[in-house]
């Protein structure tokens, strides 16, 4: 490929990336050291925004909750996603329809799905699941105002929303496992359990890593679903980092864009730390293939 | 691999169909602007020579839409287009802050309200309208706009927004339940508790009282309404009043109602309170008057015929005012608009005329006097009674930031995580810090 041809092909993507990724990132880092209001140039305040964020117990609670949510949801997505994918893989002609209907949860706008999901637990709007759980346990749960019941509801919604993607990916991985490998394992007398643990899962390690990567990124960015699912998130310790940023930087005409930017920079660091093992593995795999 | 591609294709087809359906539904839901059935009025301004677009920022609600739609429909001409995109209240608040900052903004006419006016007026972000009112008062009969509502949209003696409509608290209650138990609409919080106990004892309704106390917004309005009932407000000439006796009475009064409200009340906004009434899980509720029309519609609830309306109670028998807030909406002109401000004023003046005001009833309570009569709606009498006994809304540029600052502590006090005395001191400290930083 000629140099000019290469430049023409890559140019538009490069421009979009510079405009939508690199420039906002540079501006975010710059603002994180400034006090910024709309329409006026920022004033340099050194590390003040970082000090304010790091000394705010509310930010600490938001980080704890976000990491807790990420850990639990990622584990559940991998486990349930694998089991569902194995089940769907065994379906016959029904498979495309099951897959298609599952995708509804994934393509629904986040806040629409979250509102519908919240109604399952809200007795004002029927609250079917709330009713079933109350009948089964004989206990009344305050899903929106008690910390742990609310966390369970948020986790359940996040898993419901993100599960179809992981199922689709793992299903693709399952279908990529060579038949010969399975046959050889069967001849060697491997049980179904051992077949999955020692043959199938190691073969699709790359896909599992990719699912983890995407799920962690998605969950760390949790924001809009909390508006209907946790209306008093801050008061009960179920506020996500992104919700904290919105509340400080924008809500009710607030203009603390410097503080919001500082928290965003800290979030990027947290995300990179969480993703480091997966990015390293993916790079290693790519190098090995090259 | 071939089979997988087939699955993927089928799945993607389902995804596209679903997304299209969702998108189509969303578009339909938001298109409330420039309604064909909007009232047409005279909008007699001098049009500019070049093609002009006037961008209007106003949130969508059944109370505001009649005024916005009248303006868009009546003032649009061949060479002048009024553009209004659907938006919710929260979006309007954020966009107002953004458009008023700097030398140029995205909007030429903005909807605003009494609580926000002092802050943006003191910053010089919106223009005083007194000279225009003097010039065009007779033409658009602006003298008929309620004096109290004009005062609520004034700052430092100048009018900064032209009032279109106001909202005040109104109590909705179940007439059938009250009649059966021989109850009358409560006049004080104590009466309200007595009524709630009687209703609860009857056995059908466990949580008879419903108030919008959502922790992220409504709760501070409820607290302010309770303070107003005692004659105090968040700020008195710029000085925070959270450690005052009025504040203590308000907090204790609200906490005394909590056992009779749904345990998750701090997550309830006004639509959820409406839903409690629709479902019959509450027997009395207090909300802004703009929410009352929904209760009268039989399409919303089979109980619509059973709802009656009254002025809200006072905190106690000695309280000088009712448990209420007066929230006045109006049109303002940003200082940074590049368009002719004379033209913009005539547009907003035409939209608050008599015809548009009449068309807004019963969803709204128009600023134009004499429009709301006893026959206007089932809650008109209650609204008129309330507005006469609501504490005049004092204006202060620090009100909005102070409210944001104290809200988390207020929630802790009302949910029992912090005791009243400690909460009052903490709110006072936060408010003083916020005022000092202004």
How do residues B136-154 score in pLDDT, each as one tens digit?
999 999 999 999 899 999 9
Q: How far apart are CA B60 and CA B230, in angstroms?
A: 33
Q: B141 — alpha (psi -120 to 50), left (phi > 0) or beta?
A: left
The more confident residue out of B40 and B260 is: B260
Which residue is closest to B101 within chain A, CA to CA?
A39
Q: Is A51 on the interface with B (CB under 8 A)?
A: no
- Which pLDDT value is given to residue B110? 97
State whether B411 and A232 contact (CB < 8 Å).
Answer: yes
Q: Does domain B52-167+326-388 have CATH number 3.40.190.10?
A: yes
pLDDT of B10 strictly over 70 = no
Q: How far apart are CA B351 and CA B348, in angstroms?
A: 5
State whether B3 and A103 contact (CB < 8 Å).
Answer: no
Could you tell me the residue range of the domain that residue A285 belongs to? 32-289
Q: How far apart are CA A256 and CA A261, in angstroms?
A: 9
- Which pLDDT value is given to residue B109? 97
pLDDT of B218 strictly over 70 = yes
Tell me, yes or no, whether A2 and A52 share the same domain.
no
pLDDT of A116 strictly over 60 = yes
0.85 surpassed by complex ipTM: no
Domain positions in chain B: 52-167+326-388, 170-325+395-437
DSSP state, B313? P
- Which pLDDT value is given to residue B13? 54
Q: How confident is the model at residue B356 (pLDDT cuts 50, 70, 90)?
A: confident
- Which pLDDT value is given to residue B407? 93
| Residues of chain B contacting A107 with CB distance shorter than 8 Å | 15, 18-19, 22
- Which pLDDT value is given to residue B290? 87
Tell me, yes or no, whether A41 and A3 share the same domain.
no
Tell me, yes or no, whether A2 and A55 share the same domain.
no
Q: How far apart are CA B45 and CA B56, in angstroms?
A: 17
Separation of CA B362 from chain center: 15
Q: Is B417 on the interface with A (CB under 8 A)?
A: yes
Q: Are A77 and A159 in contact (CB under 8 A)?
A: yes
Q: What does pLDDT average to over chain B?
A: 89
- Which pLDDT value is given to residue A288? 79
The more confident residue out of B6 and B100 is: B100
| Rounded mean pLDDT, A130-155 | 94
Q: What six digits make up the tokens of A9? A: 């092909």
Tell me, yes or no, whether A16 and A147 share the same domain.
no
HSE-up (13 A, CA, CB side) for residue B8: 12
| Residues of chain A contacting B59 with CB distance shorter than 8 Å | none
Q: What six digits make up the tokens of B408? A: 């988390």
pLDDT of B4 strictly over 60 = no
Separation of CA B219 from chain center: 13
Q: How far apart are CA B300 and CA B192, in angstroms?
A: 26
Q: How far apart are CA B302 and CA A148, in angstroms?
A: 36
Q: How far apart are CA A83 and CA A78, in angstroms?
A: 9
Tell me, yes or no, whether A12 and A127 share the same domain.
no
Q: Are A213 and A278 in contact (CB under 8 A)?
A: yes
- Which pLDDT value is given to residue A92? 79
Q: How many CB atoms lie within 10 A of CB B200?
A: 17
The more confident residue out of A267 and A249 is: A267
Among residues of chain B, what percentage have pLDDT more than 90? 69
- Which pLDDT value is given to residue B36? 64
pLDDT of B19 strictly over 50 = no
Closest-CA residue to B77 (of B108, B106, B43): B43
Q: How far apart are CA B418 and CA A238, in angstroms?
A: 19
Tell me, yes or no, whether A164 and A248 share the same domain.
yes
Closest-CA residue to B347 (of B100, B63, B89, B107): B107
Q: Is A123 on the interface with B (CB under 8 A)?
A: yes
Lookup result for tokens 């202004």? B438
- Which pLDDT value is given to residue A253? 65
Q: What six digits make up the tokens of A10? A: 């890559």
Lookup result for tokens 């429009």? B371
Establish whether the linkage from the previous residue to B362 is cis, with ω within 30° of 0: yes
Fold of B170-325+395-437: D-Maltodextrin-Binding Protein; domain 2 (3.40.190)
- Which pLDDT value is given to residue B28? 36
Interface test with B, best of A36, A61, A100, A119 (most B CBs within 10 A): A100
Tell me, yes or no, whether A15 and A97 share the same domain.
no
Total domain count, chain A: 2
How do residues A202-260 score in pLDDT, each as one tens digit?
999 889 989 999 999 999 999 999 999 999 998 899 999 999 998 888 776 667 889 99
Among residues of chain A, what percentage have pLDDT more than 90? 62
Closest-CA residue to B69 (of B316, B350, B415): B350
When CB atoms are compared, the residue of B8, B11, B266 closest to A145 is: B266
How do residues B375-391 score in pLDDT, each as one tens digit?
888 899 999 999 999 99
How do residues B270-301 score in pLDDT, each as one tens digit?
999 999 999 999 999 999 998 899 999 999 99
Tell me, yes or no, whether A186 and A267 share the same domain.
yes
Tell me, yes or no, whether A185 and A223 share the same domain.
yes
The CA distance from B89 to the nearest CA of chain A, in Å, is 10
CB within 8 Å of B277: residues ≥ 6 apart: B172, B210, B285, B295, B301, B303, B307
Q: How far apart are CA B296 and CA B302, in angstroms?
A: 10
CB within 8 Å of B288: residues ≥ 6 apart: B167, B168, B169, B170, B270, B325, B327
Q: How far apart are CA B347 and CA A94, in angstroms?
A: 60
Q: How far apart are CA B187 and CA B322, in angstroms?
A: 9
State whether A231 and B269 contact (CB < 8 Å).
Answer: yes
Q: How far apart are CA B167 and CA B40, in angstroms?
A: 24
pLDDT of A263 strictly over 90 = yes
Query: Which residues lie across from B167 on neighbouring strands?
Result: B327
Question: Phi then psi for B381, rounded to 5 degrees?
Answer: -65, -45
When CB atoms are compared, the residue of A40, A95, A145 closest to B7 is: A95
- Which pLDDT value is given to residue A102? 85
Among residues of chain B, what percentage have pLDDT more than 70? 91
Query: Which strand (E) or helix (H) includes residue B83?
Result: strand B80-84
Query: Which residues lie across from B163 on neighbouring strands?
Result: B330
Closest-CA residue to A228 (of A65, A118, A73, A107): A118
Q: A254 — alpha (psi -120 to 50), left (phi > 0) or beta?
A: beta
Q: Are B110 and B57 in contact (CB under 8 A)?
A: yes
Q: Are B387 and B107 in contact (CB under 8 A)?
A: no
Tell me, yes or no, whether A237 and A252 share the same domain.
yes
How do residues A14-70 score in pLDDT, each as one tens digit?
999 999 999 999 999 999 999 887 777 889 999 999 999 999 999 999 999 999 999
Q: How far apart are CA B248 and CA B265, in angstroms?
A: 21
Closest-CA residue to A56 (of A224, A251, A234): A234
- Which pLDDT value is given to residue A252? 67
Q: How far apart are CA A31 and CA A253, in angstroms?
A: 18
CB within 8 Å of B31: residues ≥ 6 apart: B86
Tell me, yes or no, whether A2 and A88 share the same domain.
no
| Rounded mean pLDDT, A269-273 | 91
How do residues B180-211 score in pLDDT, each as one tens digit?
999 999 999 999 999 999 999 999 999 999 99
Tell me, yes or no, whether A66 and A92 share the same domain.
yes
Looking up residue A119, the CATH number of its domain turns out to be: 1.10.3720.10
- Which pLDDT value is given to residue B423? 97
């Amino acid at each position: 490929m000629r140099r000019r041809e290469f430049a023409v092909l890559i140019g538009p993507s490069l421009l979009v990336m510079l405009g939508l990724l690199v420039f906002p990132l540079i501006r975010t880092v710059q603002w994180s050291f400034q006090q910024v209001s709309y329409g006026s140039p920022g004033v340099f305040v050194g590390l003040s925004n970082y000090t304010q964020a790091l000394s705010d117990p509310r930010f600490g609670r938001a980080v704890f909750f976000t990491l807790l949510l990420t850990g639990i949801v990622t584990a559940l997505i991998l486990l349930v996603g694998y089991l569902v994918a194995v089940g769907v893989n065994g379906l016959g002609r029904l498979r495309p329809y099951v897959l298609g209907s599952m995708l509804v949860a994934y393509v629904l706008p986040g806040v629409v799905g979250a509102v519908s999901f919240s109604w399952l637990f809200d007795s004002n709007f029927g609250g079917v699941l709330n009713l079933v759980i109350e009948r089964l346990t004989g206990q009344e749960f305050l899903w929106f105002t008690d910390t742990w019941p609310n966390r369970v509801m948020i986790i359940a919604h996040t898993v419901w929303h993100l599960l179809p993607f992981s199922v689709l990916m793992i299903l693709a991985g399952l279908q990529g496992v060579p038949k010969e490998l399975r046959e050889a394992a069967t001849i060697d007398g491997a049980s179904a359990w051992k077949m999955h643990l020692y043959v199938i899962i190691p073969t699709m390690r790359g896909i599992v890593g990719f699912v983890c990567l995407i799920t962690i990124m998605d969950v760390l960015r949790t924001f809009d679903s909390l508006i209907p699912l946790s209306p008093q998130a801050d008061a009960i310790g179920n506020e996500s980092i992104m919700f904290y940023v919105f509340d400080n930087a924008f809500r009710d005409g607030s203009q603390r864009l410097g503080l919001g930017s500082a928290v965003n920079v800290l979030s990027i660091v947290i995300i990179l730390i969480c993703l480091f093992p997966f990015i390293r593995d993916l790079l290693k795999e790519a190098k090995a293939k090259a | 691999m071939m089979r997988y591609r087939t699955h993927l294709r089928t799945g993607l087809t389902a995804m596209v169909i679903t997304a299209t359906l969702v998108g189509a539904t969303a578009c339909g839901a938001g298109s409330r602007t420039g309604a064909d059935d909007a009232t047409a009025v005279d909008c007699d301004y001098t049009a500019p020579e070049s093609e002009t677009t006037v961008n209007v920022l106003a949130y969508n609600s059944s109370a505001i839409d009649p005024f916005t739609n009248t303006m868009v429909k009546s003032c649009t001409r061949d060479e002048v287009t009024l553009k209004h995109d659907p938006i919710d209240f929260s979006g309007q608040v954020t966009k107002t802050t953004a458009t008023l900052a700097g030398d140029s903004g995205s909007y030429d006419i903005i909807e605003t309200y009494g609580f926000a006016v002092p802050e943006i007026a003191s910053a010089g972000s919106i223009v005083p309208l007194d000279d225009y009112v003097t010039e065009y008062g007779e033409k658009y009969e602006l003298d008929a706009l309620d004096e109290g509502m004009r005062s609520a949209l004034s700052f430092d003696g100048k009018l900064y927004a032209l009032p279109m409509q106001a909202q005040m608290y109104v109590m909705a209650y179940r007439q059938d339940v009250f009649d059966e138990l021989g109850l009358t609409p409560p006049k004080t919080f104590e009466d309200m508790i007595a009524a709630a106990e009687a209703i609860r004892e009857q056995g059908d309704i466990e949580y008879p009282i419903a108030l919008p106390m959502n922790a992220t917004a409504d709760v501070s309005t409820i607290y302010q309404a309770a303070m107003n009932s005692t004659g105090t407000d968040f700020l008195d000439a710029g000085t925070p009043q959270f450690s005052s006796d009025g504040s203590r009475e308000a907090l204790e009064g609200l906490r005394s109602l909590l056992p009779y409200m749904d345990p998750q009340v701090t997550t309830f906004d006004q639509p959820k309170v409406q839903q409690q009434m629709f479902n019959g899980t509450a027997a009395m509720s207090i909300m802004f008057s703009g929410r009352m029309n929904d209760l009268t519609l039989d399409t919303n609830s089979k109980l619509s015929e059973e709802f009656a309306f009254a002025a809200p109670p006072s905190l106690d028998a000695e309280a000088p005012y009712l448990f209420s807030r007066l929230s006045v909406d109006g049109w303002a002109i940003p200082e940074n608009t590049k368009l002719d401000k004379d033209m913009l004023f005539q547009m907003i003046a035409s939209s608050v005329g008599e015809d548009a005001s009449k068309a807004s009833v019963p969803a709204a309570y128009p600023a134009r006097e004499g429009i709301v009569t006893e026959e206007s709606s089932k809650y008109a009498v209650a609204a008129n009674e309330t507005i006469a006994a609501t504490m005049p809304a004092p204006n202060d540029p620090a009100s909005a930031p102070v409210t944001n600052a104290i809200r988390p502590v207020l929630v802790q006090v009302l949910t029992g995580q912090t005791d009243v005395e400690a909460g009052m001191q903490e709110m006072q400290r936060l408010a003083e810090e916020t005022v000092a930083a202004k």
